[in-house]
Amino acid sequence: MGTAIATQESLAEQFKRSGKRARRGTFLLVLPLLAFLTITFLLPIGNMLNRSVGDSTVADILPRTAAALRAWNGKGRPPFSAYSALADDLVRAEREGKIGKVATRMNFERAGMRSLMIKTARVASTFEPPYAQAFNAVDLQWSDPEVWGTLRHASASTTMGYYVAALDQTRKADGTWVPKPEEDQVYIMLFERTLWVAGVVTLLCFLLGYPLAYYIARQDERTRNLLLILVLLPFWTSLLVRTTAWIALLQTNGIVNDGIAFLGGEGARLELVHNMTGTLIAMTHILLPFMILPTYSVMLSVPPALTRAAISLGATPWTAFWRIYFPMTLPGAAAGGLLVFILALGYYITPALVGGRTGQLISNMIQFHMQTSLNWGLAAALGGILLAGVLVLYIIYARVIGLNRLRLG
């Protein structure tokens, strides 16, 4: 009896050790993938979020000014020590060749600050007490508390200034947020346009993709494979080539307008490119496979006998479709819709080439700040808001529909 118990305990220990080895081996197999995702996905996102709230340029180049303004509440004139500290910091920054960097950073916070900082730095070495009068003699903007408030906010190592700007707000000297003048408000409008375009493209992809997926799923295997090749064909073609092809098709003298002119005369030609219409058409075509494939995969898993049974029990084909078939395929369509919507939120190349001025989205503004204005902090803040929107959408989907119903095949 004792020998049997010992044997059972030995087998249990061996089973536990083999389980640990199997789990360790599985982890080692997955480890390269985890490292790849960390390097190419998590670290870039973390760096982006860090850039959106962290910028120590002013604090590093103008340390005495940052310390002097730290105790100021933003009301009235700054302390006299701030004037002398700024004069000394500007002289050193000019001597070390860093004035351009800090001036550019200040210009991100308030338009015109770059020229003001550079102009003042050139003559700062000649300043003598009282420094306030010396600054005002260079430019009367130095008598404005808002200018010093901008300097105070920018001198913090962490800042919400980029998010303030991304929401079309500006900060007063005391730290309160106020909306920008209406003619200067750009980003909220672009966010609204991006959400609208993503929603419309998702709806169009559903209206076009669901019937096509249904048609493909009801064909024999040979025909299904042929149709799926046609659906997948765009993935084998460069996105840039497809977008350029749409420009050729939709332009005023393109094939589409030639057909319209043939039917209705030359005066019937339409403006289909370099506007919102072109953006919607091109994005719907490019993103349509992302709706078709998950929907089609789920449709294949629905037994045809269910609808036949409903019809045999007296339901019309239309009723059997809406009451039986459609609810069972909805998780695939929802997964496709989620993919299309998220991809449409960040689309850049197609709106840039086809959209023109009225078809630009928030991604085009992010690209502008990354490559042209070099305001990486604002670009990161815009990307952070877009990321937050995607996470909110994901949470809503999880709460309303449920992740257990999300099916890609």
Task: Decide if pLDDT at 1 tops 60.
Answer: no
Q: Which of 224, 336, 356, 247 shows the shortest CA–CA distance to 287? A: 336
| The two structure tokens encoding residue 144 | 């404005």
What confidence tens digit (pLDDT) does each residue in 59-94 have?
Answer: 999 999 999 988 888 788 888 889 999 999 999 999
Angle at 337 between CA 287 and CA 203, to 5 degrees: 80
Q: What are phi and psi of 310, to 5 degrees?
A: -65, -40
Axis crossing angle, helix 376-400 with helix 187-217, rounded to the nearest 10: 40
Q: What is the mean pLDDT of the chain?
A: 86
Q: Are 190 and 361 in contact (CB under 8 A)?
A: yes
Which letter does DSSP use for residue 181 in this model? P
Query: What is the per-residue pLDDT for 408?
Result: 54
What percent of the chain is predicted at pLDDT more than 70?
93
What average pLDDT does range 333-343 have in this prediction?
90
Q: Are 409 and 297 in contact (CB under 8 A)?
A: yes
- Cis amide linkage into residue 130, ω under 30° from 0: yes
Task: Decide if pLDDT at 109 tops 80.
Answer: yes
Query: What is the per-residue pLDDT for 9?
Result: 56
Query: What is the per-residue pLDDT for 130?
Result: 85
Q: Are 378 and 165 in contact (CB under 8 A)?
A: yes
Task: Decide if pLDDT at 200 tops 80.
Answer: yes
Q: What are phi and psi of 178, to 5 degrees?
A: -135, 145
- 404 confidence band (pLDDT: 50, 70, 90): low
What average pLDDT does range 296-320 have in this prediction?
87
Query: What is the per-residue pLDDT for 3?
Result: 57
- 350 confidence band (pLDDT: 50, 70, 90): confident
Task: Decide if pLDDT at 329 tops 70.
Answer: yes
Q: Are 147 and 124 in contact (CB under 8 A)?
A: no
- In angstroms and rounded to an integer, the radius of gyration of the C-alpha atoms of the chain is 31
What confidence tens digit (pLDDT) does each residue in 18-71 have?
Answer: 767 777 777 788 888 888 888 888 888 888 888 888 888 999 999 999 999 888
Work out whether the CA dihedral 21, 24, 29, 30 comes out positive or negative: positive
Please state the CATH superfamily assignment of the domain spanning residues 187-405 in this structure: MetI-like (1.10.3720.10)
What average pLDDT does range 209-219 have in this prediction?
93
Query: What is the per-residue pLDDT for 5?
Result: 54
What confidence tens digit (pLDDT) does each residue in 165-185 have?
Answer: 898 888 777 677 888 888 888
Which of the two residues, 4 and 50, has the higher pLDDT score? Answer: 50
- 313 confidence band (pLDDT: 50, 70, 90): confident
Which residues make beta-bridge pairs with 177? Answer: 171
Query: What is the per-residue pLDDT for 94?
Result: 92
Which residues make beta-bridge pairs with 178? Answer: 170
Burial zone of 314 (CB within 10 Å; 0-12 exposed, 13-18 middle, 19+ buried)? exposed
What average pLDDT does range 364-374 have in this prediction?
88
Query: What is the per-residue pLDDT for 405?
Result: 60
**Start-to-end C-alpha separation, the chain:** 53
Query: What is the per-residue pLDDT for 95?
Result: 92
Q: Which of 393, 315, 376, 280 shows the shortest CA–CA distance to 44? A: 376
Q: What is the DSSP string of 92-114?
A: HHHHHT-HHHHHHHHHHHSTTHH
What average pLDDT does range 248-262 have in this prediction?
82
Q: Are 355 and 276 in contact (CB under 8 A)?
A: yes
Task: Decide if pLDDT at 274 tops 90.
Answer: no
Task: Decide if pLDDT at 409 tops 60.
Answer: no
What average pLDDT does range 135-145 have in this prediction?
90
